Structures are given as structure tokens and as C-alpha cells.
A and B are shown apart, each in its own frame.
Chain A
């Protein structure tokens, strides 16, 4: 085996945590049960990795097998990447042929290889008619860099693709073109939606987030079901003076956010390009023709749940600004706000 490939194997296997090693290797399915039994999984990680690499060499594993292992690792650790969402469209009135996955894959690969001689493209099919694509970019004169790949998850029955790129932005137009042509679309547009949580992005884009899977006990009064803040007092010596207002807030919050768990986003960003408005007649910032440039960013481990709990916690008034509540509906978490 080529030294670079062996090194690539070593580094990829080294990334996998010991607790997941068996699961990942089984999913990879390149080394059979018998092979795996010959390896001692209780030794130190470096020695284990060495043994596994030797085993791969014996079995004549190729670069493609290594790339496939890398895809599987990323599928298990999809939260380590930041995913952008792209939407493709067809010309109005264009006929939609039946989608052929194999044709898509070969077409995609050909387009990239025609443009850039040095590129490694690997595919892995998953459920829901989706395919994970891994692309390692090179240049005219350099071999592909296996350590900075781009991942694309394309749902073939939809016009959406999710892209996790490392820092190389220059190849994105080519990637977009390859995706569009291979999937028989006309145009590709980047949506203003980005997050680490691929499943949440899927839920937002495919409008699947508003499904409540728990059995709904509709006889329970509104107060007890919502948000963990118990209005039904445990102790009857505690009296809430603003009970009516609290119930209103709970109701409004439930109308806007629903009963279901919110999709997970880490931030929302608002770019303001509006003129500064001030009550005072004089002021340095007032009376300027140019818009005031300002960026407001909300970050949270779980932004939408945090927004949902703002009004019940007393930090904000209900209903919240529509700029905040429209995020899952519009499928955006980057906004540009201009004067009307």
C-alpha cells in the first residue's frame, strides 16, 4: 500500500473513539468478523490502530475504502461540522425524469474529474434516498488533500443539498455546478441557513419539525403541559397574583412555538442596514444619510428552545418579535434588515 494511503488510514482510524471502534468498523464492513477477531481490542489505542492498519494493508485496502471509512466516521460525528443548505431549482415547465442514483453519481464524478484532474470522489447511500458524497480537492499539479474534504448530503427526492466544507471556499462554485447538472437542475442557491445539527436543518427545510410524536393527552389542562414551570402550585400557600397574565403568556407561547421539541440551531444573526432613529433632535448618530451598520447575533446551545422560554421566564414580553419567531418557518437564521 502507498505510504500516503497507509498514513491516511492510520489518521482516520485514530480519530475514532475506542468506545465506537467496533460499531464504526462493522458499519464499514471491509474487515469481516473473522478479521476483527484476530485483533486485540483491549490494547493501547496506538497499538490497536497499528494492528488495524496492518490488517487493512494485508487485505489490500484502497484509497476509496479509506474515504468510505472517513464518510462513516463523519456520519457518526456530523455535529463536528458546520452545515450550509443549498436549494436547487429547475426552469419552469421543465420535465422531471425519473431520478437514477447511479447516473447521478457517475455524472457528478465525471464533471469534477473533467474540471480538476486531481480529485477524490466517494459516495455512500443512506436511507430516505439520500447520498453522502465526500470530495477531496487537489489542483492541476497536486494530489488531493485527504485531510480537508468537503461533504455533501443530497436528498434525491428533494431539491436540497447540505454541504459541510472545510476552509477551501474556492471550489464551491464547481461543486455547485456539478450538483446542479448531475441532478438535472438549472440553478443552485445558497440558503441563509446554517447549523451544526444536520438533523435539525433537515427538519426545518422539509417542514418536519411540527410533528408531535408523543401521545397527546388532551384532557390535561394547558398549564400542566407546558414548559415545566408549574402554575398548578404544589404548595397552596404560594399565590400567584398574575395568574391570568401567566396563562396568557403560556398560551401565546404555545401558539407560536407549539408543543413539539424545537429544531436545534446555535445562532441567529441580524445584519442591520437601517437609518438610525433617535428621539433627540441632535446627536452624532442622527441626521445621517447612510444607514447605520450593525450586527446583532443571538447564540445559544439550543437557540429556539431558549427563545421559547424567554416569555415564560419573565425576560421578555409575549408575543416575541416576529423576526425571532419566523426562523423555522422561513428556514433562515441569517437576516438582512433594511429600511422599507
Chain B
């Protein structure tokens, strides 16, 4: 019962909720702050979690989009995301999950290979975004993208659904990845 399901709650009026999952608390908080600064017609809520499953005794709104944040500098953050993925229902992966890799800018500090995250995103058929969350400019741009994605996933954009967005975001498959 600790599995997250996309449709097990009724949506709130004009509310869109995003769940950010990752070990780097400071970065998540900064990203949340940047997202809330954006102008948005919907009411935004940002939930921050270190890992899944979430504590069960809490009354929380329906989650429209989950973003798993992997810090390429830390194997620990990758393992944390991999374990958290087990607690998400399969139907979430129809466009309501996204991966975000941070820290690619500092090559020398990276202990997780870029391909590892690419493979992970490919396995779960979800988009992978790269952004150095520590740089304010990049973070603001990413926040804007996430707000737009969140609005679509919450159904606030007429004519576009989460599944539409997923097929739009899917990049041409790299032939070598198809062999995996």
C-alpha cells in the first residue's frame, strides 16, 4: 500500500502538485523556490522527499508529476533513486515521471557515468533532463520547463495530455541503446 498511484485521489481545484525526490536537500529546496517564483495560472504545490515510500499517515494532494533528481557526483543519490522507483506504480510512467541529472558541468567530480542515468531513464521510458541546479540561470530555466510540464500533467493545458507530452519529448532512440 505504500506504492504511489497517479489516479487514486481526486484532483484539487486548479491545483498542480509536483514531487521532487532526491538526496540533495539544498538543491531540491532551491529548485522548489525557483519554480514557485514563476508566474503560473494554476496553484502550485511542491513536495520534497528524500526517498520513497512517503510517510503514510499524511494527508497529501494528488501528485501530478514526479521528478527524480540524481546528483552525478554521488553514487548514493543514484542508489537512492533506484530504490525509490520500486515504490511507484507502473501507470505513473505514462508521462508523469521525469528524471533530472545535476552536476554534469563538473566532470572531475562526477562518479556516476552519464550513460548510467541515460539507461535508467530509458528503462523507465521517461524523459531525462540535464541541469546544473547550482547555477541560478540554469535552474531558473529548468524551473520554467518543469512548471510547464507540471501544468500539462495536471491537465490544465487544454488539448495536451501527459502521454502526448511524453511522445513529444522522446528523442530518437540511439541505435546502440536499442540493443540493451
- In the complex, whether B45 has a CB less than 8 A from a CB of chain A is yes
Q: Give the CA-CA distance A244 to B55 in the complex, in Å.
A: 9
CB closest residue in chain A, given B44 = A237
If A244-B55, A245-B50 touch, whether A235 touches B24 (CB-CB below 8 Å) is: no
Q: A238-B36, A244-B55 are in contact. Are A314 and B50 (CB under 8 A)?
A: yes
Instruction: Give Cα distance in the complex from A235 to B29, angstroms.
Output: 10
Contact B50 A238, beta carbon cutoff 8 Å: no
B104 within 8 A of A: no
B49 to A241, Cβ gap below 8 A?
A: yes
Tell me if A315 and B46 are in contact (CB < 8 A): no
Q: In the complex the two chains form, is B29's CB within 8 Å of A238's CB?
A: yes
A residues 225-245 in Cβ contact with B at 8 Å: 229, 235, 237-242, 244-245
When each residue 56-94 of chain B gets 1 if its CB lies under 8 Å from chain A and 0 otherwise, what string results?
001010000000000000101100000000000000000
Contact pick for B55, options A229, A238, A242, A315, CB 8 Å: A242
Per the 8 Å Cβ criterion, residues 14-47 of B in contact with A are: 19, 22-26, 29, 32-33, 36, 43-47
Q: Taking the nearest CB of chain A, how far is it from the CB of B180, in angstroms?
A: 26
Contact call A239/B48, Cβ cutoff below 8 A: yes
Q: A237-B45, A242-B55 are in contact. Are A312 and B50 (CB under 8 A)?
A: no
* Residue on B nearest A317 in the bound complex, by CB: B76
Across the interface, which residues of A come within 8 angstroms of B77, CB to CB? Answer: 314
CA distance A312 to B24 in the complex (A): 9
The answer to whether A239 and B55 touch (CB under 8 A), given A314-B25, A315-B23, A315-B74, is no
CB within 8 A of A313: which of B26, B36, B44? B26
The digit string for B98-129, where 1 denotes a CB below 8 A from any CB of A, is 00000000000000000000000000000000
Q: Are A314 and B49 in contact (CB under 8 A)?
A: no
- The docked-state distance in angstroms from the alpha carbon of A242 to that of B29 is 13
When distances are taken between beta carbons in the complex, the residues of chain A under 8 Å from B48 are: 238-242
A239 CA / B113 CA spacing, docked (Å): 31
Classify chain A: how many residues form its interface, as a range: 10 to 19
Tell me if B54 counts as interface (CB < 8 A to partner A).
Answer: yes
A-side binding surface: helix, strand, loop or mixed? loop
Expressed in whole angstroms, the minimum distance between the Cβ of B25 and any Cβ of chain A is 5
- The range of chain B's interface size is 20 to 34
8 Å CB contacts to B: which residues of A75-116?
Answer: none
For A245, the closest partner residue in chain B by CB is: B50
| Contact bitstring A239-257, B, C-beta under 8 A = 1, else 0 | 1111011100000000000
Q: Which of B33, B36, B44, B49 contacts A242 (CB 8 A)?
A: B49
CB pair A315–B76 under 8 Å, yes or no, is: yes
B60 proximity list for chain A (CB < 8 A): 239, 241
Q: Tell me how far the C-beta of B133 lies from the nearest C-beta in chain A, rounded to whole angstroms.
A: 13
Q: Which residues of the other chain, B, contact A314 by a CB distance below 8 angstroms?
A: 22-26, 50, 77
Kindly name the residue among A239, A242, A312, A314 whose own CB sees the greatest number of chain B CB atoms within 10 A: A314
Residues of B within 8 A of A312 (CB): 25
Cβ of B50 and Cβ of A235 under 8 Å apart? Answer: no
Give A26-61 interface residues, CB cut-off 8 Å to B. none
List chain B residues, Cβ under 8 A from A244: 55
When C-beta atoms are compared, the residue in chain A nearest to B32 turns out to be: A238
Nearest residue in A to B80 (C-beta to C-beta)?
Answer: A314
Residues of A close to B45: CB separation below 8 A: 237, 239
Considering the chains assembled together, what is the distance between the CA atoms of A270 and B26 in angstroms? 30
Residues on A with beta carbons closer than 8 Å to the beta carbon of B44: 237
Q: Which chain A residue lies CB-closest to B50?
A: A242
Query: Which residues of chain A have C-beta atoms less than 8 A from B32's C-beta?
Result: 235, 238
Verify A237–B46 contact, CB threshold 8 A: yes
- B36 touching A235, Cβ below 8 Å: yes
Return 12 A-B CB contacts under 8 Å, by A number: A235-B32, A237-B44, A239-B47, A241-B49, A241-B58, A242-B50, A242-B55, A245-B50, A246-B25, A312-B25, A313-B26, A315-B74
Using CB atoms and an 8 Å cutoff, list the residues of chain B in contact with chain A. Answer: 19, 22-26, 29, 32-33, 36, 43-51, 54-55, 58, 60, 74, 76-77
Closest 5 CB pairs of A and B: A241-B49, A314-B23, A242-B50, A314-B25, A238-B32
